[in-house]
A and B are shown apart, each in its own frame.
Chain A
Amino acid sequence: DGGITQSPKYLFRKEGQNVTLSCEQNLNHDAMYWYRQDPGQGLRLIYYSQIVNDFQKGDIAEGYSVSREKKESFPLTVTSAQKNPTAFYLCASGNLWPQHFGDGTRLSIL
């Protein structure tokens, strides 16, 4: 069964810590995306990657970093520089646009 797996489902971060959210896809999609959703808001693009070893900043990249060393994997690191990290994070993949989304990771600050 092809799909996108995000882990963990819930994540807690202490002040000053970096945390990494995992995203893996087995759909053979070229492009992968990270979005952030806040209550009552649409999805806002953090980073996206069209091919391995290349990625671009989205609309709200500050305080986040990514890597794309493998086609299947696109981890997102929420750094301590991100002042308001509490949100629901969604990873997606597709060939032209996001076609499949994972079930998300909810990040909270302790």
Chain B
Amino acid sequence: DQQVKQNSPSLSVQEGRISILNCDYTNSMFDYFLWYKKYPAEGPTFLISISSIKDKNEDGRFTVFLNKSAKHLSLHIVPSQPGDSAVYFCAASGRDSGGSNYKLTFGKGTLLTVNP
């Protein structure tokens, strides 16, 4: 049962345009959402997060939008740059089955390619 879904395995955009990466989740108990960026042969790096009590969080060129009623979040990158080319993982945080610890559930990732 995949609780966090990134339905687009890949996305290609032109430099300077907007990149929109989407993520859907099924568990309404998730209370924090995060995006990570990963280059080949490296570990992921934390990019931006949003609490479930907000609907938007912005950090420079990166904005994350959360639509709780639709259980959907998206990452917008404006303007896109060739250095943004990487795999982007969406993750959601919630209590584990014992209720005592937080754990992250990751999507499968979307490969973003920004063409010069």
A contacts, CB < 8 Å to B: 4, 6, 35, 40-45, 48, 50, 56, 58, 90-92, 96-104
Contact = CB atoms under 8 A, between A and B. Distances in A.
A45 B6 CA distance: 18
Contact of A103 (B6, B41, B91, B102): B41
Given A42-B89, A58-B103, A101-B44, 14 more contacts: A4-B43, A40-B108, A42-B4, A56-B96, A56-B98, A90-B44, A91-B43, A92-B43, A96-B93, A98-B46, A98-B104, A100-B45, A101-B45, A103-B42
Given A42-B106, A48-B103, A98-B104, A103 B43 contact: yes
A56 B104 CA distance: 13
A96 B44 contact: no
A35 B34 CA distance: 16
A97 B30 CA distance: 13
Contacts, number: 58
Interface string B66-99: 0000000000000000000000010101001010
B104 A45 contact: yes
Given A90-B44, A104-B42, A96 B103 contact: no
Contacts of A56: 96, 98, 101
The residue among B43, B101, B103, B109 with the most chain A CB atoms within 10 A of its own CB is: B43
A104 to B, nearest CB: 6
B6 to A, nearest CB: 8
A97 B41 contact: no
